Structure 1
Amino acid sequence: MIDVLFVCLGNICRSPMAEAVFRNLIEKEKLSDQIKVESAATSAWHIGDPPHRGTITKLAEYNISTEGMTGRQLQKEDFQKFDYIIGMDHSNVTNIRQILEQPDHPKVMRFLDLTEHEKDVPDPYYTGDFQETYDLVIEGCQALLDKMKREHKELSR
């Protein structure tokens, strides 16, 4: 099993959106028995909360479920559990590295570094633009799956 963790500041907008989109993508590719995906926050603000209503609404437009998803905080143990730990922006990556006490490990990466974008995934909690975030998440999730298929030949069958 390959384990993926998406991380943002509060775990109610960007990282649960990425979790839901990636879960939907791997289900369509019939890889759910080989890849597990979760999301977490660097802060403790929204532990136990469902995704933001804007995230739920945007994902519902594309028939992507957020059922059963609740916010949780990143834990030191997550470093051992997950193969890919992906921060939605530079600040998230810095915080992830501090929390996990892993200053420069390759399994920790910035989400859009997998694409040609040099920017971060903007936080729709502040921008209100859930469509822009969704568009970037779709692109980043496909890039991540492509990367995983290159690194794990068993996924390409």
Structure 2
Amino acid sequence: MIQILFVCLGNICRSPMAEAVFRNKVEKAGLADKIRVDSAGTGNWHTGKPPHEGTRGILKEFGISDKGIAARQVNGQDFGLYQYIVPMDAANVADLKQFAPEGHAARVLPLMDYVEGRQHTDVPDPYYTGNFQEVYEMVDAGCEALLTHIRQAENL
């Protein structure tokens, strides 16, 4: 089982959006028995809460379920459980270092790094910008590129 963990700051906007979008793509590709998806935040402020209403709204608009998604904080065990840890921005990458045990094997690479010809390196936080549409478009492109990468790298 290939396991992917999407990470943002509070785990209520970007990473749960990526979790839902990626899970939807995995199911449509018939790979739900081979790929497991989750999300977490580097902070613990929203632990146990559902995704932000803006995230839920944009997902609903595109017919994507957010069922079962609740905020949680990243922990050191995640680095042994997930093969792919996918942060949304450079600050998340830096924050993940405080959780990472020495010598972990997880691949930590920002979502937009999977997108060829990308114009942005970070997925902006819509909690502050309110632009859930822009974030959805970036997350959708990133998830599509990540799925393509995983299918090739893992021979799926």
For residues 146 and 35 of structure 1, the distance between their equivalents in structure 2, rounded to whole angstroms, comes to: 13
Does the CA-based 8 Å contact 1:97-1:104 persist in structure 2?
Answer: no
Give how far 1:76 is off. Answer: 0.2
Aligned to 2:131: 129
For residues 130 and 102 of structure 1, the distance between their equivalents in structure 2, rounded to whole angstroms, comes to: 35
For residues 3 and 106 of structure 1, the distance between their equivalents in structure 2, rounded to whole angstroms, comes to: 10
Give how far 1:131 is off. Answer: 0.3
Give how far 1:102 is off. Answer: 5.0
Is 2:53 the counterpart of 1:53?
yes
Query: How many residue pairs end up in the alignment?
Result: 154
- Structure with the largest fraction of helix: 1
Secondary structure of the 1:54 match is helix
Q: Unaligned 5+ residue runs, structure 1? A: none
Change (3 A) 1:144 1:102: farther
For residues 81 and 73 of structure 1, the distance between their equivalents in structure 2, rounded to whole angstroms, comes to: 14
Q: Unaligned 5+ residue runs, structure 2? A: none
Is 2:144 the counterpart of 1:142?
yes
Q: What is the root-mean-square deviation in Å for CA atoms of aligned residues?
A: 1.5
Identity between Structure 1 and Structure 2 (%):
50
Aligned to 2:5: 5
For residues 102 and 36 of structure 1, the distance between their equivalents in structure 2, rounded to whole angstroms, comes to: 24
Give how far 1:149 is off. Answer: 1.1
| Superposition TM-score, scaled by structure 2 size | 0.95
Give the letter for the 1:132 counterpart.
E
